[in-house]
Structure 1
Amino acid sequence: MVTAHKNLELIPPLVDSVLKQTYPHYTVYVVADACESADIGITHPQVKVLMPATHLNAKIRSIDFAIQQFEKEHDVIVILDADNLLHPDYLQVLNGYFAKGYRAVQTNMLAKNTDSAYACLDAAGNYFYNFIDRRMRMELGCSANIWGLGIAMELSLYRSIIYRNFLGGFDKKIQADIVKQIPLLAYAEEAKVYDEKIDSGEAMERQRTRWINAYFKYFAYGWDVFATGLRRMNRNLVYFGLNLLRPPLFMQIGAGLLMVVANFWINPAYSIAWLAILASFPLTFFAIVAIMSRDRRIISSLVWLPAVFLRQLKAVFQIRKANRSFLQTSNNKRIYIEDILK
């Protein structure tokens, strides 16, 4: 299921990557919301392009619209963005996870482009969070966090989610609801979906503004998952809830710097300890990215991490904008899956 808003330019490469899947049993639904036409230049019996009569202007509404138009009762829904591309084995790998009994699976989001310093930094962030929030949690037997794309789940599970807000926080609402209904939210590292990375500081600022706003807007969901875990004596839910409550990294670093300053007047030894803790973060971040990625451009881009920190500070002062608008970041990299695989 693919949502497109105002522009279908990137849909043909995505649909092309789906049609090249080694797993044959699927139907592609493309929602062409607020688009001038429904023509994607591809005619195939497994591809359905849906054009709402009125503008939906929200990813959640587009998904609901597509579900209402399903030609049959599908077992699983995979949610993708228009700028994504799928590895040829993507659906085959996912099918194996559902055959094992998992009801919801997050797949591995990788960079479609690394043609700028900001794109490389965005990709580095993916590697870091894929490691700490997905791979390691699976190894610990805990549920993985989801992205806003590349999430696959039973259709009946998705239908159990009731939305009250349609601007931002799509992924936070989904995971907070479904993690309480299933034993484990799995992570399929072998199922690769490629996503377009932002290529400028301004785009990063808009993206982070949206994310920070969603963190505060859906903060209560973290408490709900945490409290549910305590009531059920379920360590998975307790741990998941604590991670939903975890502030963005730049806020944690900012709090650490405040502790350095405060403890300088209380006990300088504590300030040194806090400085050591803060120094361990960039070292850990670098080590994880270096292990997870073999792209030298991504590793060398880490020298610009302070720029990301400053962009996120600026984003904090703009979070009210995200309540009035989705603050969509533009995507324009028309790349086919062969360009990435070669």
Structure 2
Amino acid sequence: MEMIYSIIDILFWILGGYLLFNCSYLSFFAICGLFSLPKSKKEATNYRKIAILFPTYQENVVIINSVKTALQHQYHGDFEIIVIADGLQPETIAVLKDLGTKVIEVFFDKSTKGKAMQFAMNQLVDEGFDIAVVLDVDNVMGDDCLLYINNAFERGKKVLQTHRTAKNMDSSFAFLDACNEEVNNHIYRKGQAVLGLSAALIGSGMAFDFNYLRNLLNNIGDTVGEDKQLDFMIAERRVAVTYLHDVYVYDEKVANAKVFTKQRTRWIASQVEFMKKYALIGFVQLFKGNLEFFNKTLQTFLMPRILLLGLLFVMVLQAFFNPVGPPILFWFGLLFTLCLTLLIAIPRKFYANKQLYKALFQIPRAMIGMVIALFSIGKAKKSFMVTHHSVKPIDNDIKE
């Protein structure tokens, strides 16, 4: 019996060490994110030709609205809207073409965003594009977004991530999702950039040297997480990902727990895929001096924050009754550190919004959704779990 208690004690300490790693990583980069980055500039002597890519899967209403908005964007050079149409209705395609949009249809037995983009980029190779901007079907570019992107490439950048932020906060759950997006921006993008590390790609609001992205996509393979795969491929090539923290792309936030669970299922499946794929390679790259790649590997080991929050709460409660493992002060210290980290990472302006305090009551539902997502990741490997969108205007109080 004493041996069993010793084994359980060791297991609890191992768990404690893992959760300590999670909290330490998050809190360190949250503190780094408090420091400022240089302001982005939009002046340039050369205005490059830009391809704005909208990979679209069965979104017949939202894509028309997004294209109309994108066509109104102000830019001093040439840009073209390219809709990569997977499963769009013929009437939708006709409307898009009438608007002056280039439509590239794709047909796959199993659809993935990476394969669709790969096909489209190879179709566009002779059209003289210098920059490729990737947007989700619901995304809206902020004012002068393309001018800022062009300036970054004039300064020699090859890959960049804009500040993707909420387009809507019209429900408590959407507000909670908006907070989560900003915490990610603070920790995985701004905090990293302050230290000179690459920002993590999000999947939209990204810009690449056109030929460089084409080369990457031709080697991307079949994956549910094309943004993470691109992240690792770029890090392996030791190319920096710049973060334009003050250049905005607006993105629709999920309005309910069902959509949240479906979206997170795909995200967790992607994280598990790359943790398995790159765990060992990450340490090999570290010994080769590639800290960037190793850092990306560490991020795959981090538990989703909402699950981390729930687990730490459970560990504090169990410590009142369980004599083995770390003491209650250890667990409480981790829980306090995580809560403080989240408070630091949420934008100050959110605290003046009453929706924030209503959103706190959605956390238990989000935790349940994450647990369901955790046990449903097998579905993401069998089908393209798309998050469907609706036409939503940008809330006036969101714009900076």
Establish whether TM, by shorter chain, passes 0.5: yes
Instruction: Give the equivalent residue in structure 2 for 1:112.
Output: 167
Corresponding residue of 1:86? 141
Does 2:375 align with 1:317?
yes
Matched, 1:63 2:117: yes
Maintained 8 Å contact 1:135/1:187: yes
Q: Which string of whole-angstrom CA distances, capped at 9 and with x for unpartnered residues, describes residues 76-114 of structure 1?
A: 211111111111311111111111222110111111111
Q: TM-score, normalised by structure 1?
A: 0.88
Deviation, 1:335, is 3.1
Per-residue displacement from partner, 1:198-232 (whole Å, max 9, x unpaired)?
Answer: 11111111111111111111213442562254132
Identify which range, 320-329 or 13-22, moves more after superposition: 13-22
- Identity score, percent: 25
Q: Which amino acid aligns with 1:34?
A: G
Q: Which residue of 1 aligns with 2:297?
A: 241
Match of 1:11 among 63, 79, 93: 63
* Greater Rg over alpha carbons, structure: 2
* Cα distance between partner residues in 1 of 2:245 and 2:189: 9
Kept in 1, the 8 Å contact 2:238–2:290? The answer is: no
> Residues 50 and 27 (structure 1 numbering): CA distance in 2 closer, same or farther, change over 3 Å?
same
- Following the alignment from structure 1 to structure 2, what is the Cα–Cα distance between the partners of residues 183 and 41? 35
1:49 to 97, 103, 106: 103
Structure 2: which amino acid aligns with 1:212? I
- Evaluate the alpha carbon distance shift between residue 75 and residue 139 of structure 1 in structure 2; reply closer, same or farther with a 3 A threshold: same
Counting only pairs closer than 5 Å after superposition, residues 217-232 of structure 1 correspond to structure 2 as: 217-223=273-279, 226-232=282-288
Matched, 1:275 2:358: no
1:26 has 2:26 as partner: no
Equivalent residues of 1:8, 1:40 under 8 A apart: no
User: 1:125: how far off?
Assistant: 0.3
Query: What letter corresponds to residue 69 of structure 1 in structure 2?
Result: Q
Does the alignment pair 1:196 with 2:252?
A: yes
Distance in 2 (alpha carbons) for counterparts of 1:4 and 1:200? 22
Query: Comparing 151-160 with 205-214, which one deviates more in the overlay?
Result: 151-160
Shift in Å, 1:242: 1.5
- The equivalent of 2:47 in structure 1 is none
Secondary structure of 1:218's aligned partner: helix
Count of aligned positions: 339
In the alignment, the residues of structure 2 paired with residue 91 and residue 106 of structure 1 have an alpha-carbon distance, to the nearest angstrom, of 12
> Is the Cα–Cα contact under 8 Å of residues 166 and 398 in structure 2 kept in the other structure?
no
Ranges of 4+ aligned residues in structure 1 off by more than 6 Å: 53-56, 336-340
TM-score of the two chains, using structure 2 as the length reference? 0.76
Q: Which amino acid aligns with 1:282?
A: C
1:130-279 to 2 correspondence within 5 Å? 130-158=185-213, 159-161=215-217, 162-166=219-223, 168-223=224-279, 226-253=282-309, 256=312, 260=316, 261=318, 264-266=322-324, 270-279=327-336
Cα deviation digits, residues 11-59 of structure 1 (max 9, x gap): 23322332233323222111222112112356455x3122336677321
Q: Which has the higher contact order (CA 8 A, sep 6+)?
A: 2
Closer/same/farther in 2, CA of residues 202 and 184 from structure 1, 3 Å limit: same
Q: Is the 8 A contact 2:216 2:230 kept in 1?
A: no
Note if contact 1:222-1:241 (Cα within 8 Å) is conserved in structure 2.
yes
Q: Give structure 2 stretches of 5+ with no counterpart.
A: 1-52
Offset of 1:282 from its aligned partner? Answer: 2.4
1:152 offset after TM fit, Å? 1.1
Task: Please state whether the residue corresponding to 2:135 is helix, strand or coil.
Answer: strand
Question: Which string of whole-angstrom CA distances, capped at 9 and with x for unpartnered residues, describes residues 266-322 of structure 1?
Answer: 367x22221122133223313421426466155222343232112111221222211
Q: What secondary structure sits across from 1:50 in the alignment?
A: strand
**In the aligned structure 2, how far is the partner of 1:192 from the partner of 1:30?**
21
Other structure's SS at 1:114 match: coil
Distance 1:340 1:20 in 2: 20
**Equivalent residue of 1:265, what SS?**
coil
Other-structure match for 2:181: 126
